Amino acid sequence: MLQFFAKYKFLAIVLLVLSVIIISVIYTILKPKEILPVYQPSGSGLNPELIDSTVQYVRKYHTIADFSLTNQNGTNVTQQDYEGKIYVADFFFTTCQTICPVMTDHMLEIQQELKNDQEVLLLSHTVMPETDSVHILKKYALEKGVNDKKWNLVTGDKKQIYDLARKSYLAAKDNPYNEYDLIHTENFVLVDKKRRIRGFYDGTDPEAISKLLEDIKLLKAE
């Protein structure tokens, strides 16, 4: 009996390895591929307070609207600069002393993690363009260590920025535009290469940032 097992030992090992490989392949094929949701204004999973009344009935095909803003280098930035890219967007202002410094630190973390990834960009909109001029944004960018090739800090027409926050990114509460109001949101918004929203994250929460980085990997794998 021992001689029998000794004779076929190599064959048994080969069969065992093949069995493991076959089982692994079958599991991989049958395992559902994880795909991030595409967020729509009328869909589930969103805070109703963040759905602007002008888009609340949109069930599909919601995308980020065209925009034209100016970055920290005085360069015009439009949706074409983000064409074919995954990007993370947020809203801040340079003099904010509450949530914005934490959000900026987390954007810097994302920038560092993805510094060599040319598929992913960052986009931060000031909600106080009347004070956050190009000069101020450049000073802020230099102080924080912003990589100009990776991350645009943009200023411009206030109504355009506020409409983007409420009607495109669904990142701020639905309030009629008023030049004296102030959008103050901690939301980071993940946008895919088709300008669709694929995720919302608390920009002040380290665990949410880790989830965002993992979701970017999933999005790239689609």
CATH of the domain at 52: 3.40.30.10
Provide the annotated binding site for Cu cation.
Answer: 96, 100, 184
- Tell me the C-alpha distance between 72 and 91, whole Å: 15
pLDDT tens sequence for the chain (222 residues)? 545 445 555 555 655 555 556 655 454 454 457 899 999 998 767 877 777 888 888 888 999 999 999 999 999 999 999 999 999 999 999 999 999 999 999 999 999 999 999 999 999 999 999 999 999 999 999 999 999 999 999 999 999 999 999 999 999 876 666 665 788 899 999 999 999 999 999 999 999 999 999 999 999 998
Give the pLDDT score at 172: 86
Q: Is residue 38 part of a domain?
A: no
Give the pLDDT score at 58: 87
8 A C-beta contact, residue 130 and residue 158: yes
Range of the domain at 17: 1-31
Report CA-CA distances (Å) from 211 to 33, 119, 202.
17, 18, 10
Among residues 118, 116, 88, 72, the alpha carbon closest in space to that of 189 is found at 88
Provide the annotated binding site.
Answer: 96, 100, 184
pTM: 0.83
| 3 state SS of 184 | coil
**Shared-domain flag, residues 166 and 209:** yes
Number of domains present in the structure of the chain? 2
| 3 state SS of 213 | helix
**Shared-domain flag, residues 27 and 58:** no
Q: Is residue 36 part of a domain?
A: no
